[in-house]
C-alpha cells in the first residue's frame, strides 16, 4: 500500500518535485544505487540476517533496540515495522550488495516532520571498513533532499564512537556541537553525543570517492 501519510505531508510542502504523487508504487518501490550498493525497502527474508546483526555487540551498544533478546520473531517484527512506511514518519532501507544481494547494513530516516528528519545506520561486521555506512548515508540524504523535499537532517552519535563520527563527516554532516549525556546506549549508561546535520542548501564536496 502506498504511504499516503508520507505523501500528504510532503504534497503540502510542494515536495516530490518531478514525481507523480498519484503513482501508487512510489514509496515502496524506491531503490537507490551507489557504486556497488543497492538500498531497498526491507523484506521478510532479511529477518535472519537482521537477527544476527542485532546480536553484534557493537550494534547492541550503539544501536540499542530496547526489549529483550533478539530471536527470529523479534527480527521479523523489526523488519516488518521498517517495511511499513504508512505512518509517513520514517523511510527505512536495507543496504545490500548490488553484486550478490547480501545484507550489508541499515540506513533510515526517522522522525520525519515538517522538512526535518534524523538519520541512523549500522553495518554488519563483515561489511565494515569499506565506507558502506558513509556511502549509504550520503545516498539516502541526497535522495531525501532532492525527492522527498526535506530541508534538514540530523545525525547523532556517541562521542565514544569515533567510527560513526567519520561516517558523519564523510557524508557531509557538519558538526554542530556536543550534547551532554543526551542518550542512554546499550550498556544503560548515558553518553555525550555529537550532533551533526546537513541542510538541503549545504554545498557538500562528496569526500567518499576512494
Ligand atoms: C560505525 C559504522 C556504522 C561504520 O561503518 P562503515 O561504513 O563500515 O565504516 P568504516 O568501517 O568504513 O569506518 C568509517 C571510518 O571510521 C574509522 N574508524 C573505524 N573504527 C574506528 C575507531 N575505533 N576509531 C577511529 N576511527 C575508526 C575508519 O577508519 C573509517 O575512516 P575513514 O572514513 O577515514 O576511512 C559501523 O562500524 C557499525 O555499524 N558499528 C556498530 C554500530 C554503530 O556504531 N552504529 C552507528 C550508531 S550512530
Q: What is the CATH number of the domain that holds 48?
A: 3.40.630.30
Cα–Cα distance for residue pair 160/72, rounded to 1 Å: 30
Q: Three-state DSSP class for 86?
A: coil
Q: Is residue 39 part of a domain?
A: yes
* Ligand 1: nearest atom to the Cα of 134: 7
Higher pLDDT, 105 or 5: 105
Q: Is residue 207 part of a domain?
A: no
Number of domains making up the chain: 1
Q: Is 63 touching ligand 1 by the criterion CB < 6 Å?
A: yes
pLDDT at 67: 80
Cα–Cα distance for residue pair 56/208, rounded to 1 Å: 26
Q: Is residue 111 part of a domain?
A: yes
Q: Is residue 189 part of a domain?
A: no
Domain holding 11, by residue range, is 4-153
Q: Is 132 touching ligand 1 by the criterion CB < 6 Å?
A: yes
For 46-60, write each residue's pLDDT tens digit. Answer: 999 999 999 999 999
pLDDT at 6: 47
pLDDT at 29: 74
Residue labelled with grid coordinates 537532517? 153
For 165-202, write each residue's pLDDT tens digit. Answer: 999 999 999 999 999 999 999 999 999 999 999 999 99
Burial class (CB in 10 A: 0-12, 13-18, 19+), 131: buried
If phi > 0 it is left, if psi is from -120 to 50 it is alpha, else beta; for residue 17 that is beta
Q: Is residue 84 part of a domain?
A: yes
Q: Is 166 touching ligand 1 by the criterion CB < 6 Å?
A: yes
Amino acid at each position: 500500500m502506498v504511504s499516503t501519510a508520507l505523501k500528504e505531508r510532503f504534497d503540502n510542502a510542494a515536495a516530490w518535485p518531478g514525481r507523480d504523487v498519484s503513482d501508487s508504487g512510489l514509496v515502496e518501490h524506491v531503490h537507490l544505487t551507489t557504486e556497488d550498493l543497492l538500498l531497498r525497502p526491507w523484506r521478510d527474508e532479511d529477518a535472519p540476517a537482521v537477527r544476527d546483526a542485532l546480536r553484534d555487540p557493537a550494534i547492541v551498544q550503539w544501536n540499542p533496540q530496547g526489549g529483550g533478546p533478539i530471536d527470529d520473531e523479534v527480527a521479523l517484527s523489526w523488519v516488518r515495522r521498517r517495511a511499513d512506511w504508512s505512518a509517513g514518519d520514517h523511510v527505512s532501507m536495507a543496504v545490500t550488495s548490488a553484486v550478490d544481494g547480501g545484507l550489508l547494513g541499515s540506513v533510515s530516516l526517522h522522525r520525519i516532520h515538517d522538512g526535518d528528519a534524523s538519520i541512523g545506520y549500522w553495518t554488519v561486521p563483515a561489511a565494515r571498513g569499506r565506507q558502506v555506512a558513509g556511502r549509504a548515508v550520503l545516498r539516502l540524504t541526497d535522495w531525501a533532499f532532492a525527492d522527498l523535499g526535506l530541508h534538514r537532517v540530523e545525525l547523532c552519535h556517541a562521542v565514544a564512537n569515533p567510527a560513526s563520527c567519520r561516517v558523519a563527516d564523510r557524508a557531509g554532516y557538519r558538526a554542530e556541537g556536543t550534547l551532554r549525556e543526551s542518550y542512554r546506549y546499550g550498556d544503560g549508561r548515558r553518553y555525550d553525543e555529537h550532533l551533526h546535520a546537513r541542510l538541503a542548501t549545504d554545498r557538500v564536496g562528496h569526500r567518499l570517492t576512494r
